[in-house]
Amino acid sequence: MAQDKKVEAITARDVDFAQWFTDVCKKAELVDYSSIKGMFIYRPYGYAIWENIQRLMDAEFKKTGAENVYMPMLIPESLLQKEKDHVEGFAPECAWVTMGGSEKLEERYCIRPTSETLFCDHFHDIIHSWRDLPKMYNQWCSVLRWEKTSRPFLRHREFLWQEGHTMHATAEEAREETQRMLEIYAKFCEDVLAMPVIRGRKTDKEKFNGAEETYTIECMMHDKKALQSGTSHYFGDGFAKAFDIHFTDKNNQQAYPHQTSWGASTRLIGGIIMTHGDDDGLVLPPRIAPVQVVVVPVAQQKEGVVEAATGLYNTLLEAGVRAKIDTSDRSLGWKCAEYEMRGVPVRVEIGPRDMAEGNCCLVRSDTGEKTVIKSVELTETVRRLLDDIHANMYAMAKKNLDENTFDLNTWEEVKEMIDTKGGFAKTKWCGALECELAMKEKAGVSSRCMPFAQSGTTGKCPVCGKECTTDIYWGVAY
C-alpha cells in the first residue's frame, strides 16, 4: 500500500479564526499562492465551487432577461475620468498599463476595477430610442484592485465576479430592477448557499461610488463578523448624463435613461467557508458542492467490494447526483478524514458485512451522523438527505445570526458588545454622517445597512440622543 501523506491538523476555529480560515483554504486545496502578491491560483476544487455558483446564478439572471456580454479589460484614462465621483472612489486601487511592447503609450489604460465606464461608452453607441430599452447586460470576468493586504477569497488584487449593468426608460423601472436583483442574491444565498441574510440599504457614506442608492445583503460569519455578500446599485441618470447617453421617448422627446449595476464575487466562497466550516475543515452546502456524495469501499481488497461500491456510484450518477468513488490504495481512515476536510456532504461506505445484508452506511458532513440503509433505497435516501443537510446548515447559521444580534441603545453598549462577544448591533440612527463616523471611532463598528424590514418605532440615536425612527445594523466587517 502506498504511504499516506501526513495529515496536518487544522487550527481550531475558536483558537485562531484567521489561521483556521487559511488552513482550510490551503488544505482543502481551494487556492494556492502565486508569485504575485495578492493574486491567488484557484485550484480545481475551489474553481469547481465557483463554476457551480456561476451556473446556478447565471440561470437566475437569464430568467430576468439579462444577456451575457464581455467588455475589454483595459479602460482608457480619459474614459474613466468622465464620472468624477466614480473615478475618485477607485483611484487608489487602480493599476495602469503605460507601455505597449517597447513603446510608451500616449494614454494610460486602467486594468478594470469595475466596468461602468465601459458599459456606458457602449450604451452611448447603441441606445437611441425607447425601443432600445431596457438594455440588460451582465458579464462574468475578473477585475483588478491594487489592495495592500490580501486574504483568499475575501480580499484579492485580482478576483472573479459578475457585474450586471442595465439601462431603463424610467427611474421607476430602474429602481424595480435594483430591488429585483438584490432579491435574487438574497434568495441564492439562502436557498443555495444556506446563508441567512439581512436585506437593506447602505448609508450614503457606504454606498457605491457614483451611485444614488446602494442595496446590500449582509451575512454573519461564525466569528460574528459581517460579510457583504452582494450589492445592487441605482445610479439614476448620472452616468447617462456624463456619457451623453440619451434616447427619444414615446412622446418624441429627448430623455436620459436610468441605470443599475449589481454584482457578486468569489467572496461568496469565503462566506461559505466562514459560515459553515468546522474544526474538521469545509462543510459545503449540497447544492453547490462539486462532489455531493463520495462512495468509499471498506476492506476493498476483499472479493466483490469494489464492484458493489461501483454499482452504488453508478446508481447515483444515473440519478443526477454529483458523485465520486475512491478506490485508491489510501487507508479508510485517510479517506474519511480527507472527505470530511473537503466538506463532501454525504459519504457512502460499503464493505463485506454491508454487502451480505444488502446495506450501505451513509455519513453526513454537517452532523457526522451515520445511518445504515438498504442499498436499493440509496437514491431516494440521498436526495432526501441532501435537502435535510441544507435545511440544517441554514438553521444553524440562522441560529448564529439570531442569537448574536442585539437591540442596543447607546454607543457604549455597542462597544461593550464588540469587546466582549461580537455580533450585530441594531439601533436607531438619526441619519447624520457625524454620528455614523462617531460609531466607528467610539465603538469600532461600521454601518452594515438600514434593513428593509423597519420596526416603525421611535427611539434615540446612540450617539447624539436625538429621537429618530430609522433602524440600522452595525458590526465589524470583512
26, 11 Cβ separation under 8 angstroms: no
The CA dihedral of 272, 58, 380, 47, to the nearest 10 degrees, is -50
The CA dihedral of 145, 148, 151, 156, to the nearest 10 degrees, is 10
Q: Terminal CA-to-CA distance of the chain, rounded, Å?
A: 45
pLDDT at 450 over 70: yes
pLDDT at 190 over 60: yes
Tell me which residue of 204, 222, 233, 281 sits closest to 478, measured CA to CA.
222
- The position carrying cell 489561521 is 19
Tell me which residue of 458, 472, 457, 466 sits closest to 430, measured CA to CA.
466
Phi, psi of 231 (to 5 degrees): -135, 150
337, 384 Cβ separation under 8 angstroms: no
Predicted confidence band at 84 (pLDDT cuts at 50, 70, 90)? confident
d(CA 184, CA 194): 14
Number of H helices, E strands in the chain: 14, 25
d(CA 317, CA 14): 38
Residue type, 446: S
User: DSSP secondary-structure letter at 443?
Assistant: I
Count of alpha carbons within 13 Å of 366, Cβ hemisphere only?
A: 22
d(CA 226, CA 205): 17
pLDDT at 4 over 60: no
Beta partners for residue 142, in sequence order: 160
CA distances from 289 to 118, 152, 186, 386, 410 (A): 34, 19, 19, 11, 42
How much of the chain exceeds pLDDT 70, in percent? 98
Domains of the chain: 17-72+120-276 (3.30.930.10), 293-400 (3.40.50.800), 405-475 (3.30.110.30)
Predicted confidence band at 8 (pLDDT cuts at 50, 70, 90)? low
437: its cell numbers: 463616523
pLDDT tens for each residue of 166-180: 999 999 999 999 999
d(CA 428, CA 473): 9
pLDDT at 308 over 80: yes
Residue type, 192: V
User: DSSP secondary-structure letter at 376?
Assistant: G
pLDDT tens for each residue of 376-422: 999 999 999 999 999 999 999 999 999 999 999 999 999 999 999 99
CA distances from 192 to 16, 187, 251, 268 (A): 28, 8, 44, 11
104: its cell numbers: 510608451
pLDDT at 21 over 90: yes
Tell me which residue of 158, 196, 199 sits closest to 178, measured CA to CA.
199
pLDDT at 5 over 60: no
pLDDT at 471 over 50: yes
174: its cell numbers: 430602474
What pLDDT score does 83 carry? 76
Beta partners for residue 363, in sequence order: 347, 370
